[in-house]
Amino acid sequence: MPHDTTTYISAEAYLALEERSETKHEYIDGTVVPMPGVSLQHALIVSNLVFCLRLALRLLSGYQVTASDIQVWIPARNSYVYPDVTVTAHPPIGMEQQRPFILLNPTLIVEVLSDTTAAYDRGDKFHAYQTIDSFREYLLVDQARVHLTHHGRDAAGTWHEAHYTDRAAVVHLASIPVTLPLVGVYTDVPVAAEA
């Protein structure tokens, strides 16, 4: 996501401003970046993902699913970001004394792609997420067509990528005990079929 780097602000000043702000902003190593508004497709996909993940994990302890109002701290990049969906495989760990809650240990992160964020979500943001020790899987969900990209980290630390373009497909997640059907992700979402 392109951002203006002409004005530096400290993380502490950003957190104080963000707590009082009516709109969301990400913090990328000294730069405050406004979050774009979301489309109907984006909102429906996030809602569907949270529902599917919570339903799959409902009988298991130790998992927490959160949507885009919870920030994630990326210490190696001095960044605070708002993923669309996060799952922790252990009870969520937050920053000490920080209100609102800021997550430190995401296991699975999902971003719903838009024209303005797709390159950032696929590139710099993904690389930043990879510096978080607990982070194991990344899903990128296209909101304009049926297309889900699954990135998973194996035990050796190597990342693998798979693409799903059929509503009948299912994604087998390794970091959490969930099989995610694309039909659930795209329920009631007006998108074009993959060519």
169 part of a folded domain: yes
129 part of a folded domain: yes
Structural domain tally of the chain? 1
50 part of a folded domain: yes
Reported pTM? 0.91
Which residues span the domain enclosing 126? 38-71+82-185
11 part of a folded domain: no
28 part of a folded domain: no
Q: Is the distance from CB of 54 to CB of 87 less than 8 angstroms?
A: no
Q: In tens digits, what is the pLDDT along the chain, a chain of 195 residues?
A: 444 445 789 999 999 999 899 899 999 999 999 988 889 999 999 999 999 999 999 989 889 999 988 999 999 999 999 999 999 998 788 876 566 789 999 999 999 999 889 999 999 999 999 999 999 999 999 999 999 999 999 999 999 999 999 999 999 999 999 999 999 999 999 886 554
**b/e 28-50 (16+ beta carbons within 10 angstroms → b):** beebbbeeeebeebbebbbebbb
108 part of a folded domain: yes
Give the CATH number for residue 108.
3.90.1570.10
181, with CB counted inside 10 A (0-12, 13-18, 19+), is: middle
Q: Is the distance from CB of 33 to CB of 26 less than 8 angstroms?
A: yes
